[in-house]
Amino acid sequence: MLELRNVSIDVEDHKAILKNVDLTIEDGKFVVITGPNGGGKSTLAKVIAGIMTPSKGQILLDGEDITALSVTERARRGITFAFQQPVRFKGLTVRDLLVLAAGEGTGEPGLRALLRDVGLCPKDYIEREINASLSGGEIKRIEIAMALARKTRITLFDEPEAGIDLWSFGNLIEVFGRLRGRREGTVIIISHQERILDIADELVVLAGGELRAKGAKEDILPELLQEGACSFCPEGARKGRDC
Ligand SMILES: Nc1ncnc2c1ncn2[C@@H]1O[C@H](COP(=O)(O)OP(=O)(O)OP(=O)(O)O)[C@@H](O)[C@H]1O
């Protein structure tokens, strides 16, 4: 179980970009963090991954205080951030990346199964070099295959839909749906996309650096989608009206 207790992040001039965030994420959940631009979603993901350190508050993994642990130490404990762009070294192939993620001991059938899981034909892709010839959607799928290969406890994705066309987006949703079905670890996705929100077990709404809502998709989504609803918008909440 991952717990954030009273987590705040202050930047220059004491501007708070996260304010006293209390959040508990149970093991094996598929959680989507959403909310308006600048609400603090990416900051929250960075705090969980250890890329940013809270100014105040604690982060606990199964009761252990991991607030002071580095990205590498957290990765050892099974928290990984699926970066939007895989590393690109000249000559590095899709196979190399998958072996890096899955471990040297993974046999050929295992590597090929990872590509099939994300809707890529192993025959066409396993020897492809990681370079600009791969489309944005293909890169995204390779990134997700790597996340699957790592089999980590908590995987964070920051706007995986970014740069994906409408056609590839449908496939991306299928891939995440499959990931959810496996229940092999906790998945935390930052997204604005209704179709990604729709496959979540739980939604977390962040606005103005504050946690506005958290709960089952069935409870949160209708209000989020309600036209003109402003209860999650800091401006609307402050003025007590829709905006
Ligand atoms: N290092 C920093 N220094 C100052 N301000 C920052 C820093 N990092 C983030 N911010 C600000 O904090 C706020 C939250 O940023 P964050 O990237 O977490 O938002 P977000 O919810 O992910 O937004 P988006 O939906 O637009 O991606 C923004 O106003 C951003 O400009």
95-144 pLDDT, tens digit each: 999 998 888 888 999 999 989 888 889 999 999 998 888 887 788 888 88
Q: How many CA atoms lie within 13 A of 202 on its CB side?
A: 16
Cα–chain center distance at 153:
13
- Distance from Cα 153 to the centre of ligand 1, integer Å: 26
- Distance from Cα 47 to the centre of ligand 1, integer Å: 12
40-80 pLDDT, tens digit each: 999 999 999 999 999 999 999 999 999 999 998 998 899 98
Cα–Cα distance measured from residue 84 to residue 67, given in angstroms and rounded to the nearest whole number: 24
- Distance from Cα 16 to the centre of ligand 1, integer Å: 10
Q: Please state the domain extents for the chain.
A: 1-78+194-243
Closest CA to 3 of 19, 20, 26, 35: 26
The average pLDDT across 26-50 equals 92
pTM across the whole model: 0.84
Lowest mean pLDDT among 100-104, 141-145, 205-209, 222-226: 222-226
Q: In this predicted structure, what is the pLDDT of residue 235?
A: 56
The CATH code belonging to domain 1-78+194-243 is 3.40.50.300
Quick one: which atom of ligand 1 is closest to the CA of 190?
22
- Distance from Cα 90 to the centre of ligand 1, integer Å: 33
Q: Whose CA is nearest to atom 5 of ligand 1?
A: 11
Query: Token match 């717990």: residue?
Result: 3
For the chain, the C-alpha Rg in angstroms (whole number) is 19
